[in-house]
């Protein structure tokens, strides 16, 4: 049996939670990724971009929107040599403007996911997965994309048990 990978994108800093601004020391998706790591033996990989988005929420949303409209592929701070040894990949990201942050597109385009199982999880403030599942399927045509888990980002700490049930399915 191959190994399991938890690959996720997450941004600490100012964020919007249930209608007001909060400072997050650890991003919501990273909290979810850590819960998953507590329930399954896996390697962790943080998808992180060289050109960081602003800590300021409003500025970040503008930067991310611009990147999405220009369909850019941000350069990542680190890459895996290969994903050959993994057969299951938990893929986590925040919903950015209706889909994944563009850095996750960079990550998915870099490797061949043929024959792999992808288990997506998203944190969001209302839009759940948006178009991200269709986007993952387009970028990873040979992969099996299993039913994902959608997490209300502001309440991520209340999802530990839900995450456990989903991981063990
Ligand atoms: C740039 C940006 C765009 C966002 N767009 C959406 C959106 O379209 N729909 C939604 O429900 N939440 C949206 N959000 C909220 C995030 O998905 C949510 O706060 C998420 O939990 C953040 O995860 P993180 O802390 O791991 O980065 C957006 C947040 C940011 C910063």
Question: What is the residue-level pLDDT of the chain in tens, covering all 169 positions?
Answer: 799 999 999 999 999 888 889 999 999 999 999 999 999 999 999 999 999 999 999 999 999 999 999 999 999 999 999 999 999 999 999 999 999 999 999 999 999 999 999 999 999 999 999 999 999 999 999 999 999 999 999 999 999 999 999 999 9
| Domain-wise residue ranges, the chain | 3-167
Report how far ligand 1's centroid is from the alpha carbon of 112 (Å): 27
Q: Which ligand 1 atom sits nearest the alpha carbon of residue 29?
A: 26
Does the pTM exceed 0.75? yes
| 3-167, CATH topology level | Rossmann fold (3.40.50)
Contact 90, 148 (CB under 8 A): no
Q: Which ligand 1 atom sits nearest the alpha carbon of residue 65?
A: 1
Ligand 1 close to Cβ of residue 11 (< 6 A): yes
Ligand 1 atom 18 nearest Cα: 124
Ligand 1 close to Cβ of residue 127 (< 6 A): yes
C-alpha torsion angle, residues 39, 127, 60, 49 (rounded to 10): 40
Structure tokens at 55: 């800590």
Structure tokens at 117: 């199982």
Could you say which DSSP state residue 81 is in? Answer: S
Ligand 1 close to Cβ of residue 126 (< 6 A): yes
């Amino acid at each position: 049996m191959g190994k399991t990978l938890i690959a996720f994108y997450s941004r600490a800093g100012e964020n919007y939670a249930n209608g007001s601004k909060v400072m997050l020391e650890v991003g919501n998706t990273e909290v979810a990724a850590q819960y998953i790591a507590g329930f399954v033996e896996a390697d962790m990989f943080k998808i992180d971009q060289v050109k960081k988005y602003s800590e300021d929420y409003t500025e970040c949303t503008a930067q991310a929107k611009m990147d999405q409209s220009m369909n850019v592929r941000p350069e990542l701070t680190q890459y895996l040599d290969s994903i050959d040894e993994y057969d299951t990949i938990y893929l986590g990201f925040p919903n950015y403007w209706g889909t994944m942050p563009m850095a996750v597109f960079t990550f998915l385009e870099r490797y061949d996911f043929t024959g792999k199982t992808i288990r997506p999880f998203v944190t969001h403030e209302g839009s759940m997965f948006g178009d991200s599942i269709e986007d993952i399927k387009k970028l990873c045509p040979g992969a099996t994309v299993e039913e994902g888990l959608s997490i209300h980002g502001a309440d991520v700490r209340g999802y530990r048990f839900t995450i456990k049930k989903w991981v063990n399915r």
